[in-house]
Structure 1
Amino acid sequence: MTLQNRTLQNSLDTGRAEDWLLDLAQRHRLSPTQRQIVQRMLGLFPDVAFLSTIEIAERAGVSQPTVTRLATALGFAGFPEFRAALREVVLSGRAGAAPDRHSAVDLEVGNLAGLKRTLDSERMTSAVRLLAATAPLGVVGLRASAALADYFGYFARRVLPAVSVHTDASCLDDAVLGLRHQGATALLAFAMPRYPAATVAAIRLARQLGMATVVVADSPLAPFAADADVLLVAPVGTGLLFDSHAAGVVLAISLLDAVAATDPQRTQQRLEAHEALVGRWML
């Protein structure tokens, strides 16, 4: 990133512009490739408002005409009109922010603030209802998402009667089929970028077998969004060498808290039984 771009990055509050683009994309019917472009653009703010179609195409891994068609799909006469609107939104977010506004911590604070909308949404209510009703509860997470799946599963086993976590792609199909045979009616999947193909295949298999799918992902424009009965969005932090999943952790534990609250008596009994064993493994 050039010094000029760093100066621009520090002088603009891009959260409003990102929300504008995301809302615009959700209000139009986009192809999977077009959703991919929008998702890539969301990670390029504020520079994306000043890039050419060729530059955006190169960074999104698509052709230049595909980027041009995205502009018309979003309701603009052409790319120049779309870029002008994008620039206006970006520049209107100029603020006297501190120079470190876009540090990794500040970006995560923004992600957590945006997470409130998900936690208070009808989607969250639907997810809780589906997960509270299934036994066993299968949890899927591969590669970067394995830690989130293990985190949820570790605590879920303390308050729910039957929880199984699956982080091995080689036997994931068998695991989903086994869950269905055991009576599972829903599957929880964590799918953070880069999205493992096996995770998407497991989500689709679960639906084919008649199970509801609750998916935690980083964007409502994820290419497999249509395969989720309930999609819960936990944005990732992109300010460091690797993505950070602070919002995903908060969403995971909030989801479990809400599921446990659907049967408070059972939750209390199981927690008390767990506490009785703490002395066996705590110093």
Structure 2
Amino acid sequence: MPQLDDHQLEGVRGWLIGLVHEHRLSPTQRRVVQHMLDSMPQVAFASTIDMAEAAGVSQPTVTRIATALGFSGYAEFRNAARDAVLSATPPPAASTTGPPPTTPGAALAHERQNLRTVEATIASDAMRRAVDLIADSRPLGIVGLRVSAALANYVGYLAQRIMPDVHVLDDAAGLDDDLTQLHLDGATTLLVFAMPRYPDATVRALARARELGMTTVGIVDTPLAPFAHLIDVCLVAPVGQDLVFDSHAAAVTLSIALLEGVAASDARRTRTRLEAHEERVAEWEYRAP
């Protein structure tokens, strides 16, 4: 097995990082990839059994990682990794920029890029239209299922401070009934969070909202989402993919900016409602003795 200096090792890791950024991996698969990065260059000469034992996963999981990264199987992935190690330079299609994603610095660097994307979204015509649609809808429904439920509940909690009649829909089982009720109550807009992996129920909700005549505003990780045609106003907030779990920092920032626009659209209503909530703070806020 060849010995690599730090510069050469960074290049080989960059090859694998490039593959990870080009493909969607599950949290389990990302954990194994992080082990691979920490184990370079030994990974390029390890069997699936060795890799599985070292990473604490099953052998099929290791094989699925290879196919998830675009290879026909683990043997092809290992051959490509071996070529990268032996040449000490990444293949032409690989990316060598940035530190390994196992470091906090790499995650932060990627997140800064995501926030730059959000900055452009916030300044867009789509953002202005989304603000108008959400501000005018009464009631307003906010959909978020599985991992997106946390985003929906967070935004819903804050939206209730400045808007009347906000409903967070995070239960797939009753979603169809909830959408029908929103429509009957006069809702004109549905705000939908759709972060990967996308639940099938989220796509069905978008289709159902369209059938009911509601306009859909979607906060998604990419404009290339396979259901983008069901979203009337698409706001893009990329996810950070460098660690085991996705980071939704960009989606949170975009959501707060969206609520800022809604608040400004009716300043009197916003002021009245915020003052009413502020009067109750003394009843629940902890104060040190």
Find the aligned partners of 2:132 and 2:23 in 1 and give their Cα distance.
29
Match of 1:58 among 43, 67, 81: 67
Extract structure 1 runs of 4+ deviating beyond 4 A. Answer: 3-6, 8-11, 38-41, 60-63, 97-102
Match of 1:176 among 173, 179, 193: 179
Match of 2:11 among 7, 16, 23: 7
Q: Relative to 1, partners in 2 of residues 1:193 and 1:5: Cα closer, same or farther, differing over 3 Å?
A: farther
* Count of residue correspondences: 223
Report the counterpart of residue 137 of structure 1 in structure 2: 140
Sequence identity of aligned pairs in percent?
Answer: 50
Q: Relative to 1, partners in 2 of residues 1:247 and 1:5: Cα closer, same or farther, differing over 3 Å?
A: farther
Greater radius of gyration (CA) = 2
Contact 1:39 1:221 in 2 (8 A): no
Report the counterpart of residue 30 of structure 1 in structure 2: none
Find the aligned partners of 2:70 and 2:176 in 1 and give their Cα distance.
30
Find the aligned partners of 1:128 and 1:10 in 2 and give their Cα distance.
40
* Counterpart check, 1:190 vs 2:199: no
Find the aligned partners of 1:239 and 1:98 in 2 and give their Cα distance.
10
Contact 1:124 1:232 in 2 (8 A): yes
Find the aligned partners of 2:201 and 2:252 in 1 and give their Cα distance.
22
Match of 1:239 among 238, 242, 264: 242
Superposition map of 1:1-283 within 5 A = 6-8=10-12, 40=24, 58-59=67-68, 103-283=106-286
Contact 2:10 2:99 in 1 (8 A): no
- For 1:174, the aligned partner's letter is D
Find the aligned partners of 1:101 and 1:143 in 2 and give their Cα distance.
26
SS where residue 244 of structure 1 aligns? coil
SS where residue 261 of structure 1 aligns? helix
SS where residue 254 of structure 2 aligns? helix
Find the aligned partners of 2:216 and 2:23 in 1 and give their Cα distance.
22
Contact 1:149 1:167 in 2 (8 A): yes
Q: Relative to 1, partners in 2 of residues 1:245 and 1:270: Cα closer, same or farther, differing over 3 Å?
A: same
Q: TM-score, normalised by structure 1?
A: 0.70
User: 5+ unaligned residues in a row in structure 2: which ranges?
Assistant: 31-63, 73-90
Find the aligned partners of 1:154 and 1:246 in 2 and give their Cα distance.
17
Structure 1 residue 109, shift from structure 2 partner = 1.3
Contact 1:142 1:196 in 2 (8 A): yes
Find the aligned partners of 1:219 and 1:56 in 2 and give their Cα distance.
22
Find the aligned partners of 1:56 and 1:239 in 2 and give their Cα distance.
16
Find the aligned partners of 2:271 and 2:254 in 1 and give their Cα distance.
22
User: 5+ unaligned residues in a row in structure 1: which ranges?
Assistant: 19-37, 45-54, 64-85
Contact 2:99 2:106 in 1 (8 A): no
